[in-house]
């Protein structure tokens, strides 16, 4: 069943975050601040849409828009954010987004709602399908959406229930992980809250980690924009591990609604035997729990749960904290104009490869 919806554009930061915060699927990537960060650093222009059924909010979608001449590409990171679990309203919201994308001249619209399609590793006996995610996947496929070849965000993650007591959280950890937390405490690792004054230090540790682990990092100005914007908005909190007063590791937590996310982490090449990363994760959970957050999202798990997956090593570290593997529906593309979509997704990458070779 479909419903009549009205669409409003929200122009106030306070109004947008106030509407978003209580929604069950609220995500930090749908906040006003994330849209402004992407505008400042990558040129995506945010359009903030609110869908109402009468006086009742049905969904929100912060959609980044990038123009390509008269046409556009669009992406709603971790959106749309639905207000409840009414599948009929979900279908109507999706249909309204399709109409909006066509009117705007979109080559494609990518959505990536924070909806879980299953928990646990698929091959394990305790793995379960989630009816809401299964239903949304079927809805999108039935309306002609395609599972995207370009999955911008992590599809899978590990969630910890912070409504448990600290004793229960600690007891649930693997014996090895719990032992390493204790080693860090015994070796004199101390964790403190970071501030804006620590931004150069945070970047320096992140740069060292990138060089050691061979991943690409952006210039300082990019991270300064992200970290500063969210720290000032009280939506991010760095935690820094020190040994003898010297910083050896950090995490940067982003938090909004009912969730806290472990978005960034870094460590020095020294003092790694003191296990600072294990204590940092434990203190991050304790901090998030003390702030009233219900879930701690470790942000990233393998697409395929096999040792050849690039995230397998990180996954081994994270799974020792004994969270639940959450498998999301992932990103889906809607293409109003199929030939343009094919040209963009298939032909354009080939042209760019040829240009780079030249």
Largest Cα–Cα separation, the chain: 63
The C-alpha R_g of the chain, in whole angstroms, comes to: 21
Residues 189 and 284 in one domain: yes
Residues 166 and 313 in one domain: yes
40 is a domain residue: yes
pLDDT tens for 169-193 read 999 999 999 999 999 999 999 999 9
Residues 47 and 139 in one domain: yes
pLDDT tens for 108-119 read 999 999 999 999
pLDDT interval class at 358 (50, 70, 90) = very low
Smallest CA-to-CA distance from 181 within 273, 276, 246, 265 is with: 276
**DSSP tag of 66:** E
3-state secondary structure labels for all residues of 198-253: HHHHHHHHHHHHHHHHCCCCCCHHHHHHHHHHHHHCCCEEEEEEEECCEEEEEEEE
pLDDT tens for 31-51 read 999 999 999 999 999 999 999
Residues 148 and 165 in one domain: no
1 is a domain residue: no
In total, how many domains does the chain have? Answer: 2
Residues 193 and 243 in one domain: yes
Residues 109 and 167 in one domain: no
277 is a domain residue: yes
**DSSP tag of 164:** S
pLDDT at 66: 93
Residues 175 and 307 in one domain: yes
Residues 141 and 210 in one domain: no
Number of neighbours of residue 102 by Cβ within 10 angstroms: 13
pLDDT tens for 148-175 read 988 999 999 999 999 999 999 999 999 9
Residues 228 and 301 in one domain: yes
115 is a domain residue: yes
Residues 225 and 315 in one domain: yes
How many degrees, rounded to 5, is the angle at CA 64 between CA 58 and CA 70?
A: 115
Share of the chain above pLDDT 70, in %: 96
pLDDT at 348: 57
225 is a domain residue: yes
Residues 252 and 280 in one domain: yes
Q: Which two tokens stand for residue 223?
A: 């991270």
What mean pLDDT value characterizes the chain? 93
CATH number for the domain harbouring residue 200: 3.40.630.30
Residues 85 and 146 in one domain: yes
Domain containing 26 equals 6-120+127-153+330-357
Q: Is the pLDDT of residue 356 over 50?
A: no
How large is the average pLDDT for residues 305-309? 92
């Amino acid at each position: 069943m479909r419903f009549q919806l009205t669409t409003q554009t929200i122009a106030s930061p306070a109004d947008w975050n106030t509407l978003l915060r209580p929604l069950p699927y609220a995500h930090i990537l749908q906040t006003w601040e994330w849209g402004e960060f992407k505008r400042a650093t990558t040129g995506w222009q945010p359009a903030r849409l609110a869908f109402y059924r009468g006086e009742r909010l049905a969904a929100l979608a912060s959609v980044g828009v990038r123009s390509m001449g008269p046409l556009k590409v669009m992406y709603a990171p971790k959106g749309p954010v639905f207000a409840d679990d009414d599948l009929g309203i979900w279908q109507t919201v999706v249909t309204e987004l399709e109409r909006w994308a066509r009117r705007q001249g979109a080559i494609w619209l990518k959505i990536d709602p924070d909806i879980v399609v299953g928990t646990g590793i698929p091959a394990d006996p305790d793995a379960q399908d989630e009816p809401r995610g299964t239903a949304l996947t079927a809805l999108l496929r039935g309306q002609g959406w395609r599972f995207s070849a370009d999955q911008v965000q992590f599809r899978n993650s590990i969630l910890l229930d912070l409504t448990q007591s600290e004793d229960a959280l600690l007891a649930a950890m693997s014996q090895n992980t719990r032992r390493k937390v204790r080693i860090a405490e015994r070796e004199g690792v101390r964790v403190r809250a970071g501030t804006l004054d620590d931004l150069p230090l945070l970047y320096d540790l992140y740069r060292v980690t990138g060089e050691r682990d061979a991943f690409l990092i952006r210039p300082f100005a990019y991270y300064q924009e992200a970290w500063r914007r969210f720290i000032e908005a009280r939506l991010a909190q760095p935690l820094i591990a020190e040994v003898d007063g010297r910083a050896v590791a950090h995490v940067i937590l982003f938090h909004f609604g009912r969730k806290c996310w472990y978005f960034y982490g870094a460590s020095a090449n020294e003092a790694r035997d003191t296990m600072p990363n294990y204590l940092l994760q434990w203190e991050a959970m304790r901090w998030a729990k003390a702030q009233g957050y219900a879930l701690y999202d470790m942000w990233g798990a393998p697409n395929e749960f096999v040792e050849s997956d690039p995230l397998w090593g990180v996954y081994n570290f994270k799974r020792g904290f004994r969270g639940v593997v959450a498998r999301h529906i992932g990103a889906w593309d809607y293409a109003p104009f199929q030939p343009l979509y094919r040209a963009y997704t298939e032909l354009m990458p080939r042209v760019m490869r040829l240009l780079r070779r030249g």
